[in-house]
Amino acid sequence: MAITAQAVPGPLLLSPKDHTLILIDFQSQMAFATHSIDAVLLRNNAALVASGAAGFGVSTILTTVAEKSFSGPMFDEITAPFPGQKLFDRTSMNTWEDAAVIGEVNRLGKERIVLAGLWTGVCIVGPALSAIAQGFEVYFIADACGDVSDEAHERAVARMIQAGARPMTSLQYLLELQRDWARSETYDFTTGVARKYGGAYGLGVTYAKTMFNAHEG
């Protein structure tokens, strides 16, 4: 029997209202030992994710580990898009073992979880494998994560994929939330975030708009 194509999105694509984003341990002490990604690029990618999520109204949890006693404050790029939002500080390396965070996950009630943070092999693997074991769908934003070495990051990525987690990138996350340039209510916001944090793509958007007043839609 022939398959008939339909002009509808696939069910594995994310939308702003179908998931909870958990941003984990974007803190100075964790960043100092991160070597799998340049610190400037990491902060840029994390800012893109946080800004995009806030603008699209994604349910978002911000969590730190030992903020006052050891790891330091969360990056301003993460907290600024969520003014006044509570940060869940933990003692556990695995976010999924913190009762307060899990209480918030349950309050938000989304069956899809998207993760980003430091370090990939500890603070992202832990909640990813734990959430999958409890029946959640898990995505992780690979270029908004980092670890102490390339090897540590890549082994963590492989381990999560083997368990069923789905990798994506920061720019992919933003554009998947928009997904159609005809969505005029978020068009300027999305291109604005891309221009600020989207690297070469953002430069291209700036050039096209400045030189030709171009518009994707």
Q: What is the pLDDT of residue 36?
A: 98
Q: Write the CA distances from 209 to 27, 82, 186, 215, integer angstroms.
A: 35, 28, 17, 7
Q: What is the pTM of this model?
A: 0.95
Q: What is the pLDDT of residue 217?
A: 64
Q: Which residues of the chain register pLDDT less than 50?
A: none
Percent of the chain with pLDDT over 70: 98
Q: What is the pLDDT of residue 206?
A: 79
Let me know: does 54 contact 81? Beta carbons within 8 Å.
yes
pLDDT per position as a tens digit, 3-27? 999 999 999 999 999 999 999 999 9
Q: What is the pLDDT of residue 66?
A: 79
- Residue boundaries of the structural domains of the chain: 19-179, 183-217
Within 13 Å of residue 24, how many CA atoms lie on the same side as its CB?
34
**Which residues have C-beta within 8 Å of that of residue 83, sequence separation ≥ 6?**
none
Give the closest residue to 55 by CA, choosing from 169, 214, 206, 196: 196
Query: Three-state SS string across the chain, please?
Result: CCCCCCCCCCCCCCCCCCEEEEEECCEHHHHHCCCCCCHHHHHHHHHHHHHHHHHCCCEEEEEEECHHHHHCCECHHHHCCCCCCCEEEECCCCHHHCHHHHHHHHHHCCCEEEEEEECHHHHHHHHHHHHHHCCCEEEEEEEEEECCCHHHHHHHHHHHHHHCCEEECHHHHHHHHHCCCCCHHHHHHHHHHHHHHCHHHHHHHHHHHHHHCCCCC
**What is the C-alpha separation between 43 and 147, in angstroms, rounded?**
14
CATH class of 19-179: alpha beta
